[in-house]
Structure 1
């Protein structure tokens, strides 16, 4: 029985190593492709800027039409640049530098960082952070990036103000973080796809924001779920294992 268990573990480890090696290869290829696109795109954007400067103050109808077209091309270049940045972040191989972290303290620092900007938009931040929670193991830079992505989404769905609530607590031997907004909510048919790569309901959106968040959470051995009600708001629930 012990021999079978050892063999099963070895097989699992080999499978994980093969999958990781395959992922590394695909990620490297995708990153290389994105960089190959990015370099000429930067050159195009630079030359567009020069041409727009030469037409600045144009007073003939012809020059004004040219300036308008150049501006439209620049807008598309900027959109593609943003997409490439999102894509590189999504495909990036996450070699984590994890430390033992008090999640409540981590979230409190994030709140202090975003509070001034959210206040200007009349968004009230309501923290309900548990005390003396078991620590979790986080790469703080990666995890912070994921949470900032979630808070940006909340900010966008509350353009006229609202409440953004943060909760941390212990449940079923896991540390939980909930981020709850009072935005317009997500329809069920959309909610089923929000973690799918390249799916987006935003004009010009890359569709990689929430998939990247999910990837960051899962690489920390965590889980993320979304619940939402139309005209009431959305709740993202992140569950993380306790760090012994």
Structure 2
């Protein structure tokens, strides 16, 4: 057996192992979510009953129930992020023009950008060849990266979205003028469950990377504190267009 054959066999074994763990973890998340929904529903009913009583004891109980309800909501968000992560490799590909996908996203994001003082400047290279994309998952990638950029610019700022064609690949760059990341955060940003946000799940960027890599692409990041951040996503061009 050659080294190449061994590497291929080992990679397939690890991929199978990873897929099994992902399926099990996704099933576990669903099992946790079902009773959590029941708990949340009963908390809502309990809140309605407590609000009918006007006493110091009822007010204290009401605050405690609201605290539990908040934690249930947080747990539900973590479970949703985890389920998105487990499903990120399941692609339904269509031959698409990336500019069309970007314009669709920007139309959706326009009002939110204005609300947060974000100046969005798209720069799309014309005549870029199509690529195979899962539109729903790419929209998820864009939402995650743009929202991260928005959070890095709490007082507003500039967000540039650029597309180009390089070395038989379509390249998308997302550049913000936000607070940037430290070298330590930049090094760990794609690690599962790592987050610099107090309430972050630590699954957003790992999910983004998983989606991009499932498309046969790559994602890189450059960032500097107080200077901003640039994400570079690279997708392979539909090879049929080059024949």
Match of 2:115 in 1: 120
Aligned mate of 1:134, from 112, 115, 129: 129
Q: Which residue of 1 aligns with 2:178?
A: 183
Matches within 5 A, 1:137-148: 137-148=132-143
Per-residue deviation at 1:167?
A: 0.3
Q: Alpha-carbon deviations, 1:144-192, whole Å to 9, x = none?
A: 1111111111121222211111000122332110001111111111111
**Is 2:21 the counterpart of 1:26?**
yes
Q: Structure 2 regions of 5+ residues with no counterpart?
A: none
> Counterparts in 2 of 1:161-240, with a 5 A limit?
161-240=156-235
**Cα distance, 1:207 vs. partner?**
0.3
TM-score when normalising by structure 2:
0.92
What are the ranges of 5 or more consecutive residues in structure 1 without an aligned counterpart? none
Q: Which residue, out of 89, 98, 102, partners 1:94? A: 89
1:52 to 33, 47, 54: 47
Residues in 2 aligned to 1:95 and 1:214: alpha-carbon distance in whole angstroms: 14
Instruction: Give the distance between the partners of 2:226 and 2:3, measured in 1 at CA.
Output: 49
Q: CA RMSD in A?
A: 1.8
CA distance in 2, matches of 1:231, 1:184: 4
* Corresponding residue for residue 77 of structure 1: 72
Residues 152-163 of structure 1 mapped to structure 2, 5 A cutoff: 152-163=147-158
- 1:65 corresponding residue in structure 2: 60
Structure 1 distance, partners of 2:53, 2:186, is: 47
SS in structure 2 opposite 1:192? helix
Task: Please tell me whether residue 108 in structure 1 is matched to residue 103 in structure 2.
Answer: yes
CA distance in 1 between partners of 2:230 and 2:174 (Å):
6
Q: CA deviation at 1:53?
A: 0.7
Cα distance between partner residues in 2 of 1:102 and 1:167: 14
